[in-house]
Amino acid sequence: MINRELLSKLTSKATPYYFYDTELLRKTIQEIKTESNKYGYQVHYALKANTHDGVVKEIVAAGFGADCVSGNEVSYAHSMGIPSERIAFAGVGKTDHEILTALRVGIFSFNCESIPEIEVINDLAAQEGVVAPIAIRINPDVDPKTHEYITTGLKDNKFGINHWDFDVVAERLKSLDNIELTGIHFHVGSQIMDMTVFEQLSLKINKIAAWFKENDFHLHHINVGGGLGINYEAPVEAPVADFKGYFKAFHDHIHLEEGQELHFELGRSVVAQCGHLISKVLYVKQGLETQFMILDAGMTELIRPALYGAHHDISVLTSDLSREKYDVVGPVCESSDVFAKGVMLPKSKRGDIVAIHSSGAYGQTMASSYNMRDLVKGYTTEEL
């Protein structure tokens, strides 16, 4: 809730910028801990969602591990105080330099996505005189019922190893002396709201885990990825994702061996609702059939609407006049630089402050300097 004191602080900073509501972030983190601790589950935070220092410090303080998809993220997680044994490294295209970085940090697991990758990790681990712990990322062919751009677990996606390659992988692992298979890894997609997707994933995992057991592979952990969605349509009414239903879906359907750990890689659901892109109205321009509200923020600050057609609620913080219809657009020299079309908002003028909500995930981390624009800054509640 934006009160008068907070509004004063929000309007004092040069726009555009990101504001992160620390109180909501802490509430979300506590809900994750409460629900995951019921079952003894291990949570890694997916750094790709948001790497603002103030946000990450809260997550580190909560004791979460890290899910990384680049060597720089591995180094960053380690520098922020996340223990090496809680860092997982995923990604279909790990470079030699990134692999060496992770080996030297001594991470928990490489989530491996192909036989050639496993072979390269083995060679580099031998060069370093260490044994690399790996989890095989498996493509379970489960439809996540989400946008095609954020679907990752179907058989025609680039991610993971398919079930018909299991025998080949198993045979190859026997000849690699500097690899230790410690787990299996899955991730079917992002922004998943239908809990039956996670139930179906659990049932697929049970069959796959049984195959590994039958073939004398003893798995220390199973990593089910993340993917839990948030309510972009009603961020005020539903500020915290359904972590209770999410963790329960796995608990009710997945079968773990005694002592086997279940790991999660949550990103969007941790940070999305606490973030708001704060912008200023530059101009209100009358079009043929609509008015254009032209902001000083654009697709360079939040690319999701241009990339996915994603919805974000928008508020005008400095006007409570009668509502009018606007196309809310940015200043970038691209026709796709549009946040929303035909939305009803309070009558606005040049200088009004606008908040684009639910922007804490994949907002600031995906920002660019296209058109030579300045990279957007971010502030937590304490930093305003």
pLDDT tens-digit series, residues 60-97: 999 999 999 999 999 999 999 999 999 999 999 999 99
Output the six-digit token pair for 40.
Answer: 């003894």
Does pLDDT of 350 surpass 90?
A: yes
Q: Where are the domains of the chain?
A: 23-272, 273-383
β-pair type (353-356, 314-316): antiparallel
Does pLDDT of 218 surpass 80?
A: yes
Instruction: Enter the pTM of the model.
Output: 0.94
Is the preceding omega at residue 116 within 30 degrees of 0, hence cis?
no
Would you call 52 helix, strand, or coil by DSSP?
coil
Q: Find tokens 């909500």 and name the residue.
A: 357
pLDDT tens by residue, 142-153: 765 554 443 443
AA letter at 266: L
The residue count of the chain comes to 384
pLDDT tens by residue, 242-297: 999 999 999 999 999 999 999 999 999 999 999 999 999 999 999 888 899 999 99
Distance CA 381, CA 185 (A): 36
Report DSSP letters for 349-384, one per residue. -TT-EEEE-S-SSSSGGG---GGGPPPPEEEEGGG-
Would you report the helix, strand and coil content of the chain in percent, each value rounded to 5? 35, 25, 40
Looking at domain 23-272, which of 3.90.1150.10, 1.10.3720.10, 3.20.20.10, 3.40.50.2000 is its CATH number? 3.20.20.10
- Cβ atoms of 272 and 337 within 8 Å: the answer is no
**What pLDDT, on a 0 to 100 scale, did the predictor assign at position 157?**
55
Superfamily of domain 273-383: Lyase, Ornithine Decarboxylase; Chain A, domain 1 (2.40.37.10)
pLDDT tens by residue, 297-335: 999 999 999 998 999 999 999 999 999 999 999 999 999
- pLDDT > 70: what percent of the chain? 95
**What pLDDT, on a 0 to 100 scale, did the predictor assign at position 7?**
87
Residue 116 — φ and ψ, nearest 5°? -60, -35
How many other C-beta atoms lie within 10 A of the C-beta of residue 231?
Answer: 18
